[in-house]
Copies of this chain bind each other. A is one copy, B any other.
Amino acid sequence: MSSVRMCVSNDNGVRNSARRARIKRSAGLGLLSAAVAGSITAFAAASADDLKLPASFRTWYHVNTMVIDKGSPLFEAMGGMHNVYINSTGETALKKGEPYPDKTVFLIDLHEFIISDGSYVEGPRKATAIMLKDKKKYAATGGWGFQAWAGGDPTKPLVTNPTKQCFECHQAKKDQDYVYSTYIP
């Protein structure tokens, strides 16, 4: 998963230059980078069938928001406004800081931002990305399945190699069940 919110935490994760270097090397960045540039190529999805774009995510619990601005070394790869949501299955674990149960889904709704007199407001959608918990099925990637879609279009999946594009980065958060986001009451 190339999602910023999933690869860069709001708990100072961005400050870790070693991790940042690792993130920048991640092939996952190339995916959202392409989305940013508007030159998206839709790959044939290599992911499992259950990794589908959730139809109802806009009604899910809003975990947090982060903005990757032009001053960030991550901007080219995944600049934008990242709205992070979680489905009801995972809410309790998020709030308790515990491992997530199977069928938990985190979703990043990545939008362009428009700067107007120093204010950053939401622009068009660039991509959506999910991580779905299934301890057995995705044991090789920390129990999480990963997928992303260019422009939020379910016909344009972006992840073909979840280990390289997603999990290599998430390994750094093993102590948080491979999730960067934490609970903000």
List A residues at the B interface (Cβ < 8 Å): 4, 8, 10, 12, 14-15, 20, 58-59, 61-62, 64-75, 81, 83, 85, 111, 113, 116-122, 184-185
| Contacting pair B117 A15 (CB below 8 A) | yes
* Chain A binding surface SS class: mixed
| Contacting pair A117 B73 (CB below 8 A) | yes
| Contacting pair B120 A58 (CB below 8 A) | no
| Contacting pair B69 A120 (CB below 8 A) | yes
A116 touches which one: B14, B59, B75, B85 (CB < 8 A)?
B14
Q: What is the minimal beta-carbon distance from A106 to any residue of chain B, in angstroms?
A: 14
Q: How far is the CA of A59 from the CA of B66 in the complex (A)?
A: 18
Residues in B with CB closer than 8 Å to A67 are 67, 113, 119-120
| Contacting pair A122 B75 (CB below 8 A) | no
